[in-house]
Structure 1
Amino acid sequence: MTTATVHLVRHGEAHNPDRVLYGRLSGFHLSELGYQMAEELADWFVQRAEQTGSAPSILVASPLLRAQETIAPLAQRLQLPVRTDDRVIEAANGFEGMSNIKRQLRRPQNWGLLLNPFRPSWGEPYAEQAARVAAAVHDLRDELIRNHGDGAEAVIVAHQLPIWVTRLSAEGKKLWHDPRDRECSLTSVTSLHCDAGATRPRVEYQEPNRHLLADAIALPGA
């Protein structure tokens, strides 16, 4: 059976001292810690390739700066170009640009955004996020199998929420969830092992930079 693997990687820590829910806003580059995460993520993939004999053949990133900066060291190590795919961009969010989200939730003018947490009403529907990322994954899966053979791999650097709902969908679980329960830390790797003809991929989750997470600022949904 032919297998291709697409690794969904969350970007590194962004420079965000005001703790803004930055969403799709431009200009949020990596913090000093975020750059370290990106470098060590690249080291992890290179070391993994040396151990398994299989390096990523295709690199893809969200158009947002923090994703592009996260994948750059890996692209340099592997001497591969980076494709930009709008389908793996961060989720749209009605609270984008705001800080102190707990305080924003208490403001009556924002209550209309909270009418339906299952969709959710404050932003892009979970199902739409999962569908667009899955489409990107499926296209890469087919290209890997067609052009690079059995065991070929690709890396997509994207964002927490789209990665998480894509994983939930791949595992056949409901998409509604508590943001605090997401297993998708900064520069984590959610690997979708796609067997040709299989209905669902096999999911594997790893945290190459677990040792750096204690010092990171990570906002749910950002």
Structure 2
Amino acid sequence: MFNPDGILYGRLPGFGLSKLGHRMAQAAADDLAARDRPVSLLRVSPLQRTRESAAPIAAALGLEPEIDERIIEPTNHFEGTNMRRALKNPVNWPFLVYPPRPSWGEAYTSIEKRMREAVDDAFDSVESGDVVLVSHQLPIWVMHLSAAGEPFLHDPRKRRCALSSITTFERTTEPAPAPQPRPGEPAVPADPDAPPVIRVVEVGYAEPAGSLITAATDVGAV
């Protein structure tokens, strides 16, 4: 994205890709096409930058993008501001008091819930083939943490989710585990008629535009 003033654009309209951003989006599209996997569905966050990022993917895979509001950028109190300047203003300090939620925007648990719903719906919406979801850095990273069973509290500077990167998830079905016995009681075998456990697991990560990232002024990912 072209963002010379370092603005946290969040859900603000009017923020599209720069020329470099379009090249990076094309690199992601080329990578997906080169995998030669059947892709049945393409869903996209409604924001301009994600729709522009999805355009070369749609062209490469011959798909019509569908808008999915659930994979949009989270709300953020600092939207539209330069973060470095905003953090120096005491008026904004009350929004920094509780990072585990986080107190400056949409709760991580809320992001996880809507991303989980979007991912599960994507799996259920096709009879076969892959689904491509074009989202944003924080929702993708929260989905990664959720699938890995890791805490949501993290340093945003250390997210492994670069510009135009591709994080791949699969859904697995496992037999229901045996119930945990109480202390002193014998082990109980698993119930063969119990419903299986469905999990979403991360199986891959790639940075097709990695060679272009050093020239980018933005650090957020689409």
Q: Shorter-chain TM-score: what band?
A: 0.7 to 0.9
Tell me which amino acid in the other structure corresponds to 1:106: K
Identity %: 43
Q: Does the 8 A contact of 1:179 with 1:221 survive in 2?
A: no
Contact 2:165–2:221 at 8 Å: present in 1 too? no
Measured at CA, do residues 46 and 220 of structure 1 come closer, stay the same or move farther in structure 2, by a change above 3 Å?
Answer: closer
Q: Secondary structure at the match of 2:49?
A: helix
Q: TM-score, normalised by structure 2?
A: 0.85
The number of residues matched between the two structures is 199
Q: Distance in 2 between matches of 1:62 and 1:198?
A: 29
Give the CA RMSD over aligned residues.
1.5
Q: Deviations over 1:46-97 (max 9, x none)?
A: 1111xxxx23110010000000000101111222110000000001000000
TM-score by length of 1: 0.85
Structure 1 residue runs of 5 or longer lacking an equivalent are 1-13
Matched with 1:214 is 214
Task: Check the 8 A contact 2:77/2:104 in 1, yes or no.
Answer: yes
Q: Which runs of 4+ in 1 moved over 3 A?
A: 196-199, 219-222
What amino acid is the match of 2:166? Answer: V
**For 2:48, which of 65, 71, 74 is the aligned residue?**
65
Structure 2 Cα separation of the partners of residues 164 and 205 of structure 1: 12
Q: 1:19-58, aligned counterparts within 5 Å?
A: 19-49=6-36, 54-58=37-41
Looking at CA atoms only, which structure, 1 or 2, has the larger radius of gyration?
2
Q: Residues 101 and 107 of structure 2 are in contact (CA less than 8 Å); yes or no, is this contact kept in structure 1?
A: yes
Q: Structure 2 regions of 5+ residues with no counterpart?
A: 174-195
Matched letter for residue 186 of structure 1: L
Give how far 1:221 is off: 8.8
CA distance in 2, matches of 1:76, 1:108: 47
Matching of residue 181 in structure 1 with residue 168 in structure 2:
no
Q: Is the 8 A contact 1:130 1:166 kept in 2?
A: yes
In structure 1, distance between residues paired with 2:209 and 2:220: 18
Match 1:192 to one of 143, 157, 169: 169
